[in-house]
Amino acid sequence: MLTTPVCCVGIADHLDEVLDPHGADRRLAVQLARAEALAARRAFCRLRHDETTQTTDGVFRIPLVQGVRLQRMLEALLNPGRPDPIDPVDPETGVRLSAEELRGRALAELVDRIPKGTLPRTGGCDPVVVVTLDLATLLGGLKAARLDTGDVVSPGTARRLAARCGIIPAVLGSSGEVLDLGRKARLFTKKQRLAMNVQQGGVCAVEGCARPAAWADAHHLHQWQHGGRTDLADGVLVCRPHHTYADHPDYRVERLRPGHIRLHRRQ
Ligand SMILES: [Zn+2]
């Protein structure tokens, strides 16, 4: 059997470059263009949601240029000099996170940061997740809620999601009827957020927290699900970590002055 030794191919290419530099460039350009077209056709993405571990695993292949863009976005989110950096240490264990784990956190944040209205609408709606929970859960009950994928999430997560853009809560009555589907007034307007930002001096409303208000969640002090109104007097911008506590039944919120609150752990 006749085979061409690898070194001969290398020498042949090199000779080509020396004898015909423009031809070699042209061939490389053609080769790359072919590879790019093939890369676009070979793109795929596989996602597997696991409700037991509450994680999504994924494998994907995208063309190199988009892959490098993704890497740059993750690097930007991982910049330790940003005002609200991703913690490189696991708060539970105190262990330093690996580069892969940090990138995973950045990817999750990237998904959360995609602004509403920038993606194509499907069925007349923005790409949203509908979370179905019953009224008792919304009012602080312990029953799990369900995403429109069929996966279940904890009641705490469901209540937090119900206050966030890109998520529509479907609240069910005792006999399973939909009581409320994404009440518009539940969300504060851009102007209201801006006013809160000014009132809070640009940071989270929780005393002593310096995380920027621009990335915070708008929180109803008198909880919306308990009849709270979506007006300025009742809203504060709270960073994501503090929002978890502000909603938690173990914590009580004290109003200090407009736009400023203190969290107390219940005894
Ligand atoms: Zn905060």
pLDDT for 240-253, tens place per residue? Answer: 888 888 877 788 88
* Least confident stretch, 50-64, 192-206, 224-238: 224-238
Would 255 be classed as within a structural domain?
Answer: yes
Question: Does the CA dihedral 56-58-64-68 come out positive or negative?
Answer: positive
Q: Which of 185, 200, 220 is the last residue of a domain?
A: 185
Pairing status of strand 235-238 against strand 167-172: unpaired
Residues 96 and 152 reside in one and the same domain: no
Mean pLDDT over the full length of the chain: 79
At residue 145 the predicted structure's pLDDT band, cuts being 50, 70 and 90, is: confident
Instruction: Report which of residues 154 and 100 the model is more confident about.
Output: 100
> Domain for residue 122, yes or no?
no
| CA 53 to ligand 1 center in whole angstroms | 27
Return the pLDDT at 92. 84
On whether both 101 and 55 belong to a single domain, the answer is: yes
Is there a single domain that holds both residue 163 and residue 192?
no
Ligand 1 centre from 217 Cα, in Å?
A: 10
Residue 121: predicted pLDDT: 65
Q: Averaging pLDDT over each range in 53-67, 104-118, 182-196, which range is the top one? A: 53-67
Question: Separation of 243 CA from ligand 1 center, angstroms?
Answer: 7
- pLDDT of residue 147 exceeding 90: no
Q: Establish if 29 belongs to a structural domain.
A: no
Residue 3 pLDDT: 47
On whether both 98 and 135 belong to a single domain, the answer is: no
Same domain flag for 205 and 238: yes
In a shared domain, residues 56 and 88: yes
Q: Nearest Cα to 170, choosing from 161, 188, 182? A: 182
Q: What does the pLDDT read at residue 250?
A: 84
Distance 255 CA to ligand 1 centre (A): 15
218 alpha carbon – ligand 1 mean position (Å): 12
Give distance in angstroms: CA of 46 to centre of ligand 1. Answer: 35
Of 65, 88, 113, the residue at which a domain comes to its end is 113
| Model pLDDT, residue 90 | 87
From ligand 1's centre to the CA of 118, what distance in Å?
Answer: 27
* Number of domains making up the chain: 3
pLDDT of residue 184: 46
Range of the domain at 236: 188-265
CA of residue 206 to ligand 1 center, whole Å: 5
Q: How confident is the model at residue 41 (pLDDT cuts 50, 70, 90)?
A: very high
Ligand 1 centroid distance, CA of 263 (Å)? 10
Cα of 161 vs centre of ligand 1, distance in Å, is 17
**Centroid of ligand 1 to alpha carbon of 246 (angstroms):** 10
The more confidently predicted of residues 266 and 115 is 266
pLDDT surpassing 70 at residue 173:
no
Q: How far is the CA of 213 from the centre of ligand 1 (A)?
A: 8
Q: Of 143, 159, 185, which residue sits at a domain end?
A: 185
Give the per-residue pLDDT at 249. 78
Query: pLDDT at position 164, please?
Result: 62
**Residue 177 belongs to some domain of the structure:** yes
Are 219 and 173 in the same domain?
Answer: no
User: Ligand 1 center to residue 244 CA distance, Å?
Assistant: 10
Distance 264 CA to ligand 1 centre (A): 14
